[in-house]
A and B are shown apart, each in its own frame.
Chain A
Amino acid sequence: MSSLAEGEEPVVAAEKVESPWRRFTADFAESRLALAGLGLLLAILVVAVLAPVISPQNPYDLAQLDVMDSKLAPGEPSSSTGRPYLLGTDDQGRDMLSGILYGLRISLSVGIASTVLALAIGLVLGLAAAYFGGWLDTVVMRLADIQLSFPAILIALILLAVLGQGVDKIIVALVTVQWAYYARTVRSAALVERQKEYMEAARGLALPRARIVLRHLLPNCLPPLIVVATVQVAHAIALEATLSFLGLGLPITEPSLGLLIANGFQYLLSGKYWISFYPGLALLLTIVAINLVADQLRDVLNPRLRR
């Protein structure tokens, strides 16, 4: 970031004083597609958070379900209240729209929680590996190598086969397959940063080690991490959905989008597409929205593409 200021003419730099945040938002807003993705993502987050308030029914309160309404096509009215089900109902007469809104909550929270945890673990290990080097570096990076030489889905499947079902277990599995990406990214960023002059200056001032690492090294390693983390949230959500679809992820008491899709799969061949199609669409929109934002973040935060 500092190298950019050096390259510019001093006069121009004085005229165009912009805070980094303003420049960041302006750069981000350059792509309409990315803005659309961001808008969609925010909308999805809002409806997921507000699900208990805005959904037509509580899909997991059995008293609100009417078996007479089971497997209704989208738009068909309820037999008791006459109110139409916008996206149809599943085999138990559950409103699919409500099911999807609640499912989004679970999918998003599992995805975000596992990403944050993996980020924290990868950050600590990667920073430590880069800063201390030696055997710690070797052990951490060899572990990451072995981990990354096997596909994420395989490792997650094995872990869940051993551990069993549950929210905590799927988070453990998702963290296990994700930490290595962060550890590698942080390590390589930190190795570059620690050679720079500001780090030498910090060491020359004899600042405490903890302060050098946390206040000087860490903030400068963050941009690539943010990009990786955004992409990984989408991966985590897709992986959780896949595992739940295979019946290995979340238990039936925590129906994420993947579980809703799996539930509808058995009715697909009889033409009742809506039970799995719409949850799948919600999943797809979520992943595409995140990927659009991530793509633009990568371009904006990449110093090599800076104009």
Chain B
Amino acid sequence: MLAFTLRRFGQSLLVLVLMSLLVFLGVYAIGNPIDLLVNPQADDFERARATAALGLDQPLAKQYLTFLTHAASGDLGRSFVYNIPAIDLILQRLPATMELALVATFLAVALGIPLGLVAGLKPHSFIGRGIMAGSILGFSLPTFWVGLVLIMVFSVQLGWLPPNGRGETTLLFGVPVSFLTRDGLAHLAMPAVNLALFKLSLMIRLTRAGTREAMLQDYVKFARAKGLSSRRVIGVHVLKNILVPIVTVIGLELGSVIAFAIVTESIFAWPGTGKLLIDSINQLDRPVIVAYLMVIVAIFVAINFVVDVLYSLLDPRVRLGGAAAHA
């Protein structure tokens, strides 16, 4: 187990370094990096000073090494717009994004698994077909369009929910959160539903497929033959067996929820990292773009690592398969 974890950790580090190289090449080597990294309003003197300070007269390999060492110590440049370290800006906004992503994931799981179970147990019933039709729609609807319709219906027509912002926040373990106040919940409702919709469809499909497969297995027939109640057969025997792939997908999808939050945050003006990224792109605030990228890549790599290790605990074949498990 330790050997597997260590090997997997090494692979994660490798991917992280590889991605940092890509980010470095993308932002620093394509085009004139001075244009990207120094405020466009700077004069020639300032530019020359910055070129020397950034070591841009050095060979590319050395520059990359400098970038890496700076990045490793948390220095990813200063924001032009806010004039504070870019990494601080990201970390300030991260709780809002994480709250949105976690609540959306929770919604997707809490609704998706029961709905998927029903659809899987009664695939040909009216309810089962209805749930599947809904999930196909959930896949087809573009996220931003659903967001618009939500605002149109619940904010403009009905006037029930506020269309933007995060509302009142309270501190939970020193981190500001919205879901503990009434006002915050009202602000959170639409963005969370909007972000959850796609994942909800995915959860329904996964659970349904898993359930249909599991119901045909011998162990389910055996459990029934033993005279167990169908409640226990489904709740314990079926659920336990379909949960392994579902847990993996939940973990892996958490990263993609954070990425998709970019769209949701822009629509509902939710003050998280995704909105910050779009604002930074529009304002050409390159250090913040780089910092966002490195942080999100690190989050992705970390999630993949944790999921793989958890998965190997749940399913020994992964660990014993050795080299078959890769990033």
Residue positions of A touching B, CB distance < 8 A? 145-146, 149-151, 153-154, 157-158, 160-162, 234, 238, 241-242, 245-248, 261, 265, 268-269, 271, 273, 276-277, 280, 283-284, 287-288, 291, 295
- Asked if B185 is at the interface of the complex by the 8 Å CB criterion, the answer is no
Q: How large is the interface on B (under 10, 10 to 19, 20 to 34, 35 or more residues)?
A: 35 or more
24 pairs, A vs B, C-beta closer than 8 Å: A145-B326, A146-B18, A149-B300, A150-B300, A157-B277, A158-B289, A162-B31, A238-B142, A241-B144, A245-B144, A246-B263, A248-B281, A268-B151, A268-B156, A273-B156, A277-B149, A277-B152, A280-B148, A280-B149, A284-B141, A284-B145, A287-B142, A288-B137, A291-B140
A112 to chain B, nearest CB (A): 18
A151-B255, A295-B136 provided; 16 other pairs, C-beta below 8 A?
Answer: A145-B326, A146-B15, A146-B18, A149-B300, A150-B300, A153-B259, A158-B293, A238-B142, A241-B144, A245-B144, A246-B144, A248-B281, A283-B142, A283-B145, A287-B141, A287-B142
Complex CA distance for A206 and B141, rounded to whole angstroms:
51
Q: CB-CB < 8 A to A261: which residues of B?
A: 144-145, 148
Residue from the list A145, A265, A271, A284 in contact with B142, Cβ < 8 A: A284
Residue positions of B touching A, CB distance < 8 A? 15, 18-19, 26-27, 30-31, 136-137, 139-145, 148-149, 151-152, 155-156, 163, 255-256, 259-260, 262-263, 266-267, 277-278, 281-282, 289, 293, 296-297, 300, 304, 326-327
Q: A146-B15, A153-B260, A291-B140 are in contact. Are A158 and B148 (CB under 8 A)?
A: no
Complex CA distance for A185 and B273, rounded to whole angstroms:
34
Residue from the list B30, B137, B141, B256 in contact with A151, Cβ < 8 A: B256
Closest 4 CB pairs between A and B?
Answer: A151-B259, A154-B259, A151-B256, A280-B145
Complex CA distance for A269 and B268, rounded to whole angstroms:
12
Closest to B144 in A: A245
Q: CB-CB < 8 A to B281: which residues of A?
A: 157, 160-161, 248
Q: CB-CB < 8 A to A291: which residues of B?
A: 136, 139-140
CB atoms of B148 and A276 under 8 A apart: yes
CB atoms of A151 and B260 under 8 A apart: yes
Closest to B136 in A: A291
CB atoms of B151 and A269 under 8 A apart: yes
Closest to B164 in A: A269
Interface residues of B, dominant DSSP: helix
Complex CA distance for A225 and B110, rounded to whole angstroms:
35
Q: A241-B142, A284-B145 are in contact. Are A273 and B278 (CB under 8 A)?
A: no
Complex CA distance for A160 and B15, rounded to whole angstroms:
23
Residue from the list B141, B263, B304 in contact with A149, Cβ < 8 A: B304
A103 to chain B, nearest CB (A): 14
A110 to chain B, nearest CB (A): 15
Q: CB-CB < 8 A to B139: which residues of A?
A: 291
Closest to A244 in B: B144
B324 to chain A, nearest CB (A): 13
Q: CB-CB < 8 A to A280: which residues of B?
A: 142, 145, 148-149
Complex CA distance for A150 and B304, rounded to whole angstroms:
11
Closest to A272 in B: B156
Closest to B286 in A: A161
Complex CA distance for A157 and B279, rounded to whole angstroms:
12
Complex CA distance for A261 and B151, rounded to whole angstroms:
14
CB atoms of B296 and A268 under 8 A apart: no
Complex CA distance for A150 and B278, rounded to whole angstroms:
18
CB atoms of B148 and A268 under 8 A apart: yes
Complex CA distance for A153 and B15, rounded to whole angstroms:
20
Closest to B31 in A: A162
Complex CA distance for A153 and B156, rounded to whole angstroms:
29
A51 to chain B, nearest CB (A): 21
Q: CB-CB < 8 A to A158: which residues of B?
A: 26, 289, 293
